[in-house]
Amino acid sequence: MHLRITSTQNPKVKSLLALEKPRERRKQQLFIIEGKKEISMAIEAGYKIGNLFFCDHIIDVSDIPSELKDEKLLIPVSKEVFDKIAVREGTGGMIAVAEMRVHALDQIQLSKNPLILILEGVEKPGNLGAILRTADAANIDAVIICDTQTDFYNPNVIRSSLGCVFTKQVAAATSEETIAWLRKNNINIYCTYLQASQPYHTVNYQNPAAIVMGTEATGLTDVWVKNADANIIIPMLGKIDSMNVSTAAAVVVFEARRQRGF
């Protein structure tokens, strides 16, 4: 096992902290996972884990999952160092470095009657994480991010998804590529849209379906609206005309699940 790190200026600590930046994650093709539960979910999903930093004031080495007990990868750190490298509380004293994956459309394995959730231009990691939790809860086939402005491996996505980024199939592509893929697989496109739309609960989601969500600020781009099999809307009964995208996604996805008998 490595010697216990007690300085925040240690090169290994600096390298870990650098992965909080998107550019460095892309360059190294590595990302950070915080928390015993999230790390275990990543392992179960087949992610390759590299160095495992653990605070021996919080967790004993004997409590580390057996899959991670490679002495060459275990790096004990002091409480001061761990407080510096941990983004959130409640990590259980463990932070892992893992290898990124390629998330292409052609890697998605579809069920016989797929239900897909598509997000265009998502910006906030917290929203993406919350939507991934909905995707897991509803057990949909995949989440596809189009023209994304955040990435699956942002620490806040992993945190807010509670590790659900590892439990569902995820892919990133342009809107045009995704529309072509949906047509190729005979999946109906239902776009949330404020104008010329029908109430979301009146649409039949019992056949292969993709539910498409846009940003709260600008909604969906024209390419989606023009290619939709139906544009849908969640009726607003108050003074505002929209709700948080993660909440809206949950409303529509679980209506689709209700129609399918869960």
DSSP code per residue over 118-145: EEES---HHHHHHHHHHHHHHT-SEEEE
Per-residue pLDDT band at 147 (split at 50, 70, 90)? confident
Please state, rounded to an integer, the average pLDDT across all residues of the chain.
91
Q: Residue 188 domain-assigned?
A: yes
Q: Answer yes or no: are the C-beta atoms of 12 and 5 closer than 8 Å.
A: yes
Q: Which domain holds residue 250?
A: 105-259
Do 80 and 49 fall within a single domain? yes
Query: Any idea what the CATH number is for the domain that residue 226 is in?
Result: 3.40.1280.10
Q: Answer yes or no: are the C-beta atoms of 178 and 142 closer than 8 Å.
A: no
Q: Answer yes or no: are the C-beta atoms of 179 and 189 closer than 8 Å.
A: yes
Do 95 and 185 fall within a single domain? no
29 SS3 class: coil
Q: Residue 55 domain-assigned?
A: yes
Do 154 and 246 fall within a single domain? yes
pLDDT score of 111: 96
Q: Last residue of some domain: 35, 64, 99?
A: 99
Please calculate the CA angle 87-78-63 and round it to the nearest 5 degrees. 85
pLDDT score of 1: 60
Across 107-117, average pLDDT: 97
Selection from 35, 177, 37, 28 nearest residue 99 by Cα? 28
Across 178-204, average pLDDT: 94
Do 77 and 141 fall within a single domain? no
Do 94 and 119 fall within a single domain? no
Do 81 and 164 fall within a single domain? no
The C-alpha atoms of residue 114 and residue 97 are separated, in whole angstroms, by: 33
Do 93 and 199 fall within a single domain? no
pLDDT score of 239: 84
Q: Residue 4 domain-assigned?
A: no
**Does residue 150 surpass a pLDDT of 70?**
yes
Do 75 and 180 fall within a single domain? no
pLDDT score of 119: 95
Q: What is the DSSP code (8-state) at residue 47? A: P
Relative to beta strand 115-120, strand 49-55 is unpaired
Q: Answer yes or no: are the C-beta atoms of 164 and 136 closer than 8 Å.
A: yes
Q: Residue 2 domain-assigned?
A: no
User: Model pTM greater than 0.95?
Assistant: no
pLDDT score of 94: 93
**Does residue 107 surpass a pLDDT of 70?**
yes
38 vs 94, 95, 114, 166, CA distance in Å?
10, 10, 26, 8
- Site of tokens 């239902």: 190
pLDDT score of 170: 95
Q: In this predicted model, what pLDDT tens digit does every residue of 11-22 receive, in sequence order?
A: 999 999 999 999
**Does residue 71 surpass a pLDDT of 80?**
no
Q: What is the DSSP code (8-state) at residue 215? A: B
Do 92 and 134 fall within a single domain? no
73 vs 25, 53, 70, 98, 119, CA distance in Å?
19, 8, 5, 12, 36
The C-alpha atoms of residue 36 and residue 65 are separated, in whole angstroms, by: 8
Q: Answer yes or no: are the C-beta atoms of 51 and 96 closer than 8 Å.
A: yes
92 SS3 class: coil
Do 155 and 250 fall within a single domain? yes
Tally the domains of the chain: 2
Q: What percent of the chain is modeled with pLDDT above 70?
A: 98
